[in-house]
Amino acid sequence: MVTFEEVYRRFRTPVWRLARRLTGEEEEALDATQEIFLRVWRGLAGWRGEAQISTWVFQIAWNYLRSLRRREMGRARVVPIDPGDGCAEAVTIADPAPSPELRAVAVERLGRIEEALASLGETHRVVIWLRDGEDLSYEEIATVLDVPIGTVRSRLARARDALRRAVEG
Amino acid sequence: MDEATLELLSRYLDDDLVGVERSALEERLSSDPRLRDRLGDLRRGREAVAALAARERHPAALDALVEPLRRAPAERMVVRPVFRWLAAAASVAAAALLALQLVRQHPQPTVTVRALPVARSVAQPSPGHYYQLKPLPRGKDADQAPIGAADRLLRDGPATPVPEPLPPLEVMGPLEEPKPSSAAASRLRQEEAVSDSAASVAVAPAGEREPSSDEVVEGAPAAGVGETPGKRLEVAKAGRQAAPAQAAAPGSPSLPGVLVVHLTTGVVRVPIARLPPGASPVDLRIEVHGERITRALPSAPDGRLPGGIATALAGTPAPGVGDGTYAARVEAAPRPQ
């Protein structure tokens, strides 16, 4: 029997990151994450382990974020490009001893990636994030998005190519 | 680049290709630098997204927001099917009990066939409710005693055997009688006029007029009959129409079967057209809906009673009796001496 505390500790960052990617705003992502975990808390007693806990939690998150996006459809949204304080940590992870120039290049590249991600459509953004950002398998992504696995393969290929084109400008 | 090749490259990155597909793509990659460049671009994008994800941590504010949920006990949301059924059954039972309680608190009026005339009389009062009948004068003779007293006498007094069968009563015939001669027609018109006069007496409000002796002879209510104002019974045309069938038993001292009387004004009119010859004095006993009336047959020079016998019914008919058609039993019996 998994407890809410365990689920929260394990998924709070992935869920927040997904919310951040799909909402584009930190405040909104915070509210959305809180709402998602409220739903997880309510549904946890009924979770019987038919699916993996990761796909179950991401499914709740995706359904809520999608409904949120539908409600706010038509509202212009600009995703801020702000590497923030955590950027140096990310670069350090990628390169233990980067030079200032390399760090600047890495920050710039991450900024371009984030901007390119934000320019993608929602279906492309979520599939590329679940696979490359959260490392979910094709089967798990198919379960979360409730689409056939072949759709995941083809959609992911197109999303990656779109991201490449967006980064190249 | 076509989508199939693009998908192969994407799947190759994720190590999703196996067997022939993988070896075929690796062979193409070794011979196609453009394909290798595209694979490199996709790999860099993949790593960049992973790096972006790796640098992001949830804000500390999230823990504060979710803290109430972390401290709260898990909510039991699962309801087993059996409990769902039980809940549905309980809801239905509760609704049924509520409906039953409402019906008990506000019962529907139960109107039986027997009570219908009462209900109708309440909704539409009969003429007896409109006209306050004046009590008829009390007489000294036995035949003018109140009907109730006469009934008691009949009930409690010694039974008087009928010495001999009386000749049959002649009952008024059907409405479509054989065409009479001119003299008979003239007499018939006179009789009908008298009959109409008696009928008007029957429906007239009490107090407007007192019954005269002529009216008694011609069939109006006898003087001194009854003290209690109440409904009146009248044998109207329905009785006339029913009479011939009952008159088909000659030699009987009584009218066999029943007469159909129409209870309208509280006057019983028996459509006897002719007295039995030599049968005086004879009492006519009429029973309508449990009310028994004994009335002395009036004398007539030729034995004819064109208007029949009309007499008032004292007292109020049984509860539930209103306007309508009822059966009347009429018989003639020698008057006790």
Selected for mutation to probe chain A from B21, B43, B58 (highest A CB count within 10 Å) is B58
Of all residues in chain B, the one with the smallest CA distance to A3 is B74
Of all residues in chain B, the one with the smallest CA distance to A160 is B42
Mean pLDDT of B95-106: 87
Which tens digits make up the pLDDT trace of B266-320? 666 666 666 656 655 667 777 766 667 777 766 666 666 656 666 666 555 555 5
Q: Which tokens belong to B218?
A: 């011609």
- End-to-end CA gap in chain B: 138
Chain B CB contacts of A86 below 8 Å: 55-57
Whether residue A153 and residue B75 make contact (CB cut-off 8 A), yes or no, is no
Q: Which tokens belong to A50?
A: 């038919």
* Eight-state DSSP code of residue B124: S
Whether residue A113 and residue B72 make contact (CB cut-off 8 A), yes or no, is no
The beta-carbon neighbor of B66 closest among A37, A131, A156 is: A37
With a cut of 50, say whether residue B124 has pLDDT above it: yes
With a cut of 50, say whether residue A79 has pLDDT above it: no
Which tens digits make up the pLDDT trace of A12-40? 999 999 999 998 888 889 999 999 999 99
Which tens digits make up the pLDDT trace of B209-246? 333 333 333 333 333 333 333 333 333 333 333 333 33
Residue with tokens 């390169």: A95
Q: Which tokens belong to B32?
A: 């196609």
Please give the Cα distance from A62 to B42 (Å, whole number): 25
* Eight-state DSSP code of residue A131: I
Chain A nearest CA to B45, separation (Å): 6
Which tens digits make up the pLDDT trace of B169-200? 555 544 333 444 555 555 545 544 444 333 32
pLDDT at B250: 36
Per-residue confidence at A110, pLDDT binned at 50, 70, 90?
confident
Chain A CB contacts of B42 below 8 Å: 160-161, 164
Chain A CB contacts of B14 below 8 Å: 131, 138, 156
Chain B nearest CA to A3, separation (Å): 8
Residue-by-residue DSSP string for B215-279: HHHTTSPPTT--SS-----B--HHHHHHHHHHTTSTT-SB--S-EEEEESSSEEEE-EEEPPTT-
Which range among A77-81, A117-121, B157-161 has the greatest average pLDDT? A117-121
With a cut of 60, say whether residue B138 has pLDDT above it: no
Q: Which residues contact A7 (CB under 8 A, 6 or more apart)?
A: A40, A44, A53, A57
Selected for mutation to probe chain B from A10, A81, A128, A132 (highest B CB count within 10 Å) is A132
Positions of E strands within A84-160: none
Please give the Cα distance from B145 to B140 (Å, whole number): 7
Chain B CB contacts of A158 below 8 Å: 3, 6
Chain A nearest CA to B15, separation (Å): 11
Whether residue B53 and residue A133 make contact (CB cut-off 8 A), yes or no, is yes
Please give the Cα distance from A168 to B244 (Å, whole number): 121
Quick one: which of B293, B287, B298, B295 has its CA closest to B257?
A: B287
Per-residue confidence at A87, pLDDT binned at 50, 70, 90?
very low
Q: Which residues contact B255 (CB under 8 A, 6 or more apart)?
A: B169, B171, B243, B246, B247, B329, B330, B331, B332
Q: Which tokens belong to A116?
A: 């390119």
Percentage of the residues of chain B whose pLDDT score is greater than 90:
16
Whether residue B58 and residue A13 make contact (CB cut-off 8 A), yes or no, is yes
SS3 at position B288: strand
Residue-by-residue DSSP string for A80-120: -----THHHHHHHHH-SS--HHHHHHHHHHHHHHHHHHHHS
Which tens digits make up the pLDDT trace of A131-140? 999 999 999 9
Per-residue confidence at A105, pLDDT binned at 50, 70, 90?
confident
> Do β-strands B291-296 and B267-270 pair in parallel, antiparallel, or remain unpaired?
unpaired
Quick one: which of B331, B327, B295, B297 has its CA closest to B313?
A: B295
Chain A CB contacts of B66 below 8 Å: 8, 12, 33-34, 37
Per-residue confidence at A88, pLDDT binned at 50, 70, 90?
very low
